[in-house]
A and B are shown apart, each in its own frame.
Chain A
């Protein structure tokens, strides 16, 4: 069993839809939870991070962490074609050694 599981997709949604992306994990010691966005032919860029449990909101993006279920989510409201990318979840015990999910490919159709 992988430490971090993420559905690879692809996920296709119409413009304006609410998108839900998820990861599950097995290591209860993880404390830092991150979402990276990776456009084609580019390196990943940090989108959001959450420490421990709870929600965090930034514009159209909301990150949720449920440590009791070992489950994290990223919600995208009013999705735009420019949101089309691969979304990677990442987790770590400390602030340096990250374990990444395989990434979910998202396509937002205009």
Chain B
């Protein structure tokens, strides 16, 4: 089954404790991205990657890091999480030239 898989689905952590949210897709898509979704603000892009080893900042990159060492994986790293990073996070992928983005199920992160 074609899918984007995120882990974990739910995470509660403390301020300053480094964490990684994994994202993996099995569709051989070139393009992957991370979004955060907040009430009243909608989906905002954090980082995106056009292909392996090619990443760039989206609209709200502060406090986040990403890497793209393999085509299928695009982890999101929070080196020192803060409470304002409490949000619902989505990973998405799409093939080059396509307008359809496939989203993961989401990761609900709470930073206390």
Interface on A for B, CB 8 Å cutoff?
6, 8, 32, 34, 41-46, 49, 51, 88, 90, 92, 95-98, 100-103
Q: Mark B33-64, 1 if CB is under 8 A from A, else 0.
A: 10100001111110010100000001000000
Q: 13 A-B pairs, CB-CB below 8 angstroms?
A: A6-B42, A32-B99, A34-B99, A42-B105, A43-B92, A44-B103, A95-B94, A95-B96, A96-B33, A98-B101, A100-B35, A100-B42, A100-B44
Assess the B103–A96 pair: CB atoms within 8 A.
no
Closest 4 CB pairs of A and B: A43-B103, A102-B42, A100-B43, A46-B100
Say yes or no: is B75 at the interface (Cβ < 8 Å to chain A).
no
For B9, give the chain A residue with the smallest CB separation: A41
Q: Contacts of B100 on A, CB cut-off 8 Å?
A: 46, 49
Which of B33, B43, B58, B99 is the one whose CB lies under 8 Å from A88? B43
Assess the B42–A101 pair: CB atoms within 8 A.
yes
Q: Contacts of B45 on A, CB cut-off 8 Å?
A: 97-98
CA distance A88 to B44 in the complex (A): 12
Q: Contacts of A46 on B, CB cut-off 8 Å?
A: 99-101
The A-contacting residues of B in range 86-112, CB under 8 angstroms, are 90, 92, 94, 96-101, 103-106
Assess the A43–B104 pair: CB atoms within 8 A.
yes
Say yes or no: is B74 at the interface (Cβ < 8 Å to chain A).
no
B61 to chain A, nearest CB (A): 13
Assess the B43–A49 pair: CB atoms within 8 A.
no
**20 extra A-B contacts, CB within 8 A, seeds A43-B90, A96-B48:** A8-B40, A34-B99, A43-B104, A44-B43, A44-B90, A44-B101, A46-B100, A49-B99, A88-B43, A95-B96, A96-B31, A96-B94, A97-B45, A98-B45, A98-B101, A100-B35, A100-B44, A101-B42, A102-B40, A102-B41
